[in-house]
Structure 1
Amino acid sequence: MPLLKIANGRIYDPAHGRDGVVGDLWIRDGIVIAPPAGADVRADRVIDATGLVVMPGGVDMHCHIAGSKVNAARKMRPEDKQPFARHGAFRSGTGGTVPSTFTTGYLYAGLGYTAAFDAAVPPLSARHVHEEFHDTPILDKGFFVMLGNNQYLLQQLAAGDHRQACNYLGWIVNTARAYGVKVVNPGGVEVWKQSGGSVRSIDDVIPEFNITPRQIVREIARSVDELGLPHAMHLHCTNLGVPGNASTTLETMQALEGHRAHLAHIQFHSYGGDPDDQSTFCSRVPELVEYISAHPNVSVDVGQVLFGPATAMTGDSALGYYLHKLLGAKWYSCDLEMEAGCGIVPIVYKQKSFVHALQWAIGLEWYLLMPDPWRIAMSTDHPNGASFLAYPQIIALLMDRNRRDEMLQQLPAGIREKCTLGDITREYTLSEIAIITRAAPARMLGLTQKGHLGPGADGDVTLYQPQTDLQQMFELPRYLVCGGEVILDDGELVKEQPGRTLYSAPGFDEACVPAIADWFNEHYSLRFGNYGVDDNFLPHGREVACVQK
């Protein structure tokens, strides 16, 4: 592979303490290398980065870009489609809140992102997700497999068989070629599938299994740590979107007992108030930030809401139904055999809505009140709070207090009394933006080759032209280098390449497999031998990479 030199850029590489330091980067064979010795070394290509901001490629650790629910949303929202015309060697597709596969890769690259992780894939959908990943270019990709309502796992937890539960998690992650483990409304989806109800407390008992969400969260987090997975248990807490849910969120974090957990789309879990009285709806971000700041085993991504169209898409079936009844919008729900479910509802976040405006403010509170940016990652829970294309808008709001204040003045009266956003003067620096969009999510995911620009890092680099309009600056990178290849060249998308699928391969006791097979063959309509993604499935031109802790 040619030798690439990025010369004289202002390098923002927080992992190595570089805060706008002017210097050069060298990339060979897709990897950042130390400057070659010898005066006669000549790069095959030199990008003159004089005056440009240089950062690692962006890492989106929580989004929804593949799988059965994503495809269902694409089908049920024809009114949302925006054509993405074919040009040159690039494929056509559609945009909107749920872009098609090829378009997703192109649009992420157009923002300077080089890695993205789908946050909720049931094991039964894993095979198809790998097919979709193959059709999502440029990005390196991975997914978290959903296990918080998996019936085999719940049975092992109910029997108190932690060893078998842990081995099952190890087996399923290997079988699905997943990167990590996702828990969605632990036990609550199973309750909804049984009775149409849900759980409201982490100590509610789940019928048939006689266990609680507290036990599920604690035991899965413990198993993830024992398996040595690179990423913590990825958790969607109970009572998402419900006023007063901050108390449940705090109790859930306390239930971890020191085990690692990453709390997804934390904005949706940070509400005070009475569920039956909307006038009491308020922010409880400060006390949750205080707890997380004192407990390094917990990290978060935000799930920022932006005004405009979105698609509520969740593995939490009960939440999907709740939103359908609340909004009166069309609704899709799916029961995934013995495993999980999903709910999909179109939504428009309106600036004149008090609830939507407060959700917008609560998300920004999280970024601005968190003292340590290494513990928080940027996300919109794409496409739930907004499209990932809104990231530049969020960046501009974080870096410019005046912009936030102007927005606050346009929102419904009383918002300032329900949150602290109007009193916050903090403005993010470019280094802090590099942390929450690159370095921190890579570190939370255990990706040692991403999120930094030191020797040995993947050759993923984004170059931005400084502008007074910060949103426009981050919407239009000048260059994107992915795996050492120039993908965006002077603002134009010039190349497409496959990207890798990243997965984990934890060790587990293979003696557990016969018992799993017997249970599956008894309970599933799909036979055990066809359940997962086997070694014969993956090749077909795919490039995959196993990531160990």
Structure 2
Amino acid sequence: MSLSRIKNGTIYDPANGVNGEVCDLWIQDGKIIARPPNADSFTGKTLDATGYVVMPGGIDMHCHIAGPKVNAGRKMTPELKRNAPPIYRSDHTRSGTGGVVPSTFATGYLFASIGYTTAMDAAIPGLHARHAHEELQDTPILDKGFYLLFGNNHFVMKHLRNQDQNALDAYCAWLLESAKGYTIKIVNPGGVEDWKQISRKTIKELDSPVQNFGVTPRQIVRGLAGTADRLQLPHSVHIHCNNLGIPGNWETTLNTMESLEGHRGHLAHVQFHSYDGDPNDPASFSSATQKLVDYVNTHENITVDVGHINPGTTLSMTGDTPFSQFLHNINRNKWYTADCELESSCGVIPIEYRPQKSLINAVQWAIALEWYLLMEDPWRVIMTSDHPNGGAFYHYPEIIYLLMDRSFRLEFLSRMPEAIRERSVLADLEREYSLYEIAIITRAAPARVLGMKDKGHLGVGAHADITIYAPQQNRQEMFERPRWVYKDGQQVVVDGEIQAHAFGKTYYTSPDFDQEFLPHIESWFNDNYSIRFRNYQIDSQEIPQAEEITCQLDLR
């Protein structure tokens, strides 16, 4: 690719400590390079970004854009697509459907149109990995990948029960390599397995044993967190705690954090796990954010993404089927559920958030903002909506505006039930985010937490994923429609409209593991389930654009 330049942009690049400095960016072969020797006499392709805000491309590190539950959600909610603006085929795009769960092509276009260039699917069962890869390969512009579900895996629990650390590490390494997953994901550890097997009841306490296995959720979290660290995975174990959505669940969340015992851990959509109150009294529902923030602020091994909610109708889709059943029992909406043999389960159900009328929804909305505003270190709190669970990703610009403008935040809060002020400290928080901090929580921090050294910054060697905004007082309007977006040095968006069609890369980890354990794993599986692992293995040749991140496993 020929040399090109973005000239005189106002750069916000927190990973390199650049806070609003005016300078040039140089691009060649899809990467950002150092200022070339011929810079003073350069007459090639130049974009004048004078007066514009320049940031790395956005990164959504926790969303649901592929896999069986996403497809189930697309099929069961045609009414959510009928009123969504369609995406028509053009010289640069293919047609697609929008709504809260867009089609594959529309997903890539809509992410790019708000300046995002990377998205990671948060929960894929190993047995469904092949088709998830096919969907991701059909999602344009974005670089992507997925986290692999382990928290209710039979082999994981049996190795933990047997206290066989080497076999656990080797099994996780093998499955990540075979399925081309990025890291270890835990959803309601042990609780989903109990729900599948024991009269549709889930585990409520972190130290309650999983039926038929005798291990506890605490042991699963601690064991898999240790495996992730021993495998030196680029991203820590990614945790969806037990008791999601239940009043009083903040204690479960705190216990889960403590169960890490110093290992790295990332807590997903933490808003849904930050509730105070009595589980048997919904009227007691209130925020417990401060109690959890106090712990996270003093434990640098923990990072979180928020999972904020947005007003309106969306779709809950989760590997936490007991929670889907809980929602169904409350709102009696249509409900889809499916089990995945030895690994996981999923539930899909439409849901509507009405914070202007519902006090519970208002508290949920406030809790998300509390997490951003109370955390001392913005590098450890990341913007997500658990798309589409809290709302579609294209609502991020509104959240940015709420964080950057307290007057807008208070005006929004004034439309909600008055009792919200007794159950949340949001009204008292005066902090306003800067553009630099927004660049952290939407770009630099997710890249750092994911261990992606070529993402989330604008330094030499980074992918030339660049978003350029026209400054506006109304930050929502500013972030809704970037002036230009570059993906790997190619201009793909102009004034919010797709201008070029390309496909990004798939990221996955490839941990090294001692081959002496492979016969043990295969024999174990064959003896118990009469299925050969190798019949399932994904050949990397089928994923020509995958980018491997190699990890080392120390089995000493």
TM-score of the superposition, structure 2-length normalised?
Answer: 0.97
Could you say which residue in structure 2 is the equivalent of 1:496? Answer: 501
How far residue 492 of structure 1 moved from its aligned partner, in angstroms, is 2.9
1:119 and 2:122 matched: yes
Could you say which residue in structure 2 is the equivalent of 1:444? Answer: 449
Aligned equivalents of 2:140 and 2:151: distance in 1? Answer: 30
1:424 and 2:429 matched: yes
1:417-462 deviation line (CA, Å, top 9, x unaligned)? 1010000000000000000000000000000001111111111100
Equivalent residue in structure 2 for 1:274, among 271, 275, 278: 278
| Alignment check: 8 A CA contact 1:183 1:233 kept | yes
Could you say which residue in structure 2 is the equivalent of 1:46? Answer: 46
Which range moved further: 508-517 or 92-101? 508-517
Equivalent residue in structure 2 for 1:546, among 545, 548, 555: 548
1:153 and 2:156 matched: yes
| Alignment check: 8 A CA contact 1:205 1:211 kept | yes
How far residue 507 of structure 1 moved from its aligned partner, in angstroms, is 1.1
Same amino acid, percent of matched pairs = 53
1:210-238 deviation line (CA, Å, top 9, x unaligned)? 01000000000000000010000000001
How far residue 84 of structure 1 moved from its aligned partner, in angstroms, is 1.8
Could you say which residue in structure 2 is the equivalent of 1:15? Answer: 15
Could you say which residue in structure 2 is the equivalent of 1:287? Answer: 291
Matches within 5 A, 1:77-96: 77-81=77-81, 82=84, 83-96=86-99
Matches within 5 A, 1:234-253: 234-253=238-257
How far residue 376 of structure 1 moved from its aligned partner, in angstroms, is 0.7
1:233-254 deviation line (CA, Å, top 9, x unaligned)? 0000010000000001001101
1:66 to 1:43, Cα distance in 2 relative to 1, 3 A: farther
Matches within 5 A, 1:90-489: 90-195=93-198, 196-350=200-354, 351-489=356-494
Which range moved further: 489-498 or 174-183? 489-498
How far residue 40 of structure 1 moved from its aligned partner, in angstroms, is 5.5
| Alignment check: 8 A CA contact 2:114 2:496 kept | no
Aligned equivalents of 1:275 and 1:186: distance in 2? Answer: 20
| Alignment check: 8 A CA contact 2:482 2:494 kept | no
| Alignment check: 8 A CA contact 2:92 2:498 kept | no
Could you say which residue in structure 1 is the equivalent of 2:69? Answer: 69
How far residue 280 of structure 1 moved from its aligned partner, in angstroms, is 1.1
1:319-354 deviation line (CA, Å, top 9, x unaligned)? 111111111111000000111000011011012111
Tell me the SS of whatever aligns to 2:550: coil
1:314 to 1:112, Cα distance in 2 relative to 1, 3 A: same
Could you say which residue in structure 1 is the equivalent of 2:520? Answer: 515
Which range moved further: 431-440 or 87-96? 87-96
1:525 to 1:49, Cα distance in 2 relative to 1, 3 A: farther
How far residue 159 of structure 1 moved from its aligned partner, in angstroms, is 1.0
Q: Give 4+ residue runs of structure 1 displaced > 6 Å after superposition.
A: none
1:443 to 1:516, Cα distance in 2 relative to 1, 3 A: same
How far residue 508 of structure 1 moved from its aligned partner, in angstroms, is 1.1
| Alignment check: 8 A CA contact 1:302 1:363 kept | yes
Aligned equivalents of 1:137 and 1:175: distance in 2? Answer: 24
The one-letter amino acid of 1:310's match is T
Structure 1: gaps of 5 or more residues: none
1:285-328 deviation line (CA, Å, top 9, x unaligned)? 11111100100000000000111111100001111111111111
| Alignment check: 8 A CA contact 1:241 1:269 kept | yes
Aligned equivalents of 1:208 and 1:120: distance in 2? Answer: 24
| Alignment check: 8 A CA contact 1:147 1:183 kept | yes
The one-letter amino acid of 1:161's match is D
Aligned equivalents of 2:402 and 2:529: distance in 1? Answer: 49
Aligned equivalents of 2:46 and 2:39: distance in 1? Answer: 15
Could you say which residue in structure 1 is the equivalent of 2:554? Answer: none
| Alignment check: 8 A CA contact 2:126 2:149 kept | yes
How far residue 530 of structure 1 moved from its aligned partner, in angstroms, is 2.3
How far residue 515 of structure 1 moved from its aligned partner, in angstroms, is 2.5
Which range moved further: 503-512 or 473-482? 503-512
The one-letter amino acid of 2:27's match is I
Tell me the SS of whatever aligns to 2:209: coil
Aligned equivalents of 1:548 and 1:170: distance in 2? Answer: 11
How far residue 42 of structure 1 moved from its aligned partner, in angstroms, is 2.2
How far residue 535 of structure 1 moved from its aligned partner, in angstroms, is 3.0
Aligned equivalents of 2:530 and 2:317: distance in 1? Answer: 26
Aligned equivalents of 1:527 and 1:86: distance in 2? Answer: 43
How far residue 188 of structure 1 moved from its aligned partner, in angstroms, is 0.4
Aligned equivalents of 2:132 and 2:446: distance in 1? Answer: 22
| Alignment check: 8 A CA contact 2:58 2:456 kept | yes
RMSD of aligned residue pairs (Cα, Å): 1.2
1:39 to 1:377, Cα distance in 2 relative to 1, 3 A: closer
Matched residue count: 546
| Alignment check: 8 A CA contact 1:3 1:43 kept | no
Aligned equivalents of 2:437 and 2:109: distance in 1? Answer: 26
The one-letter amino acid of 1:107's match is L
Aligned equivalents of 1:143 and 1:86: distance in 2? Answer: 28
1:122-152 deviation line (CA, Å, top 9, x unaligned)? 0011100110111000000010000000111
Which range moved further: 490-499 or 438-447? 490-499
How far residue 523 of structure 1 moved from its aligned partner, in angstroms, is 4.4
Aligned equivalents of 1:311 and 1:545: distance in 2? Answer: 31
1:492 to 1:97, Cα distance in 2 relative to 1, 3 A: closer
Aligned equivalents of 2:492 and 2:527: distance in 1? Answer: 49
Aligned equivalents of 1:90 and 1:8: distance in 2? Answer: 31
| Alignment check: 8 A CA contact 2:145 2:182 kept | yes
How far residue 49 of structure 1 moved from its aligned partner, in angstroms, is 0.3
| Alignment check: 8 A CA contact 2:278 2:284 kept | yes
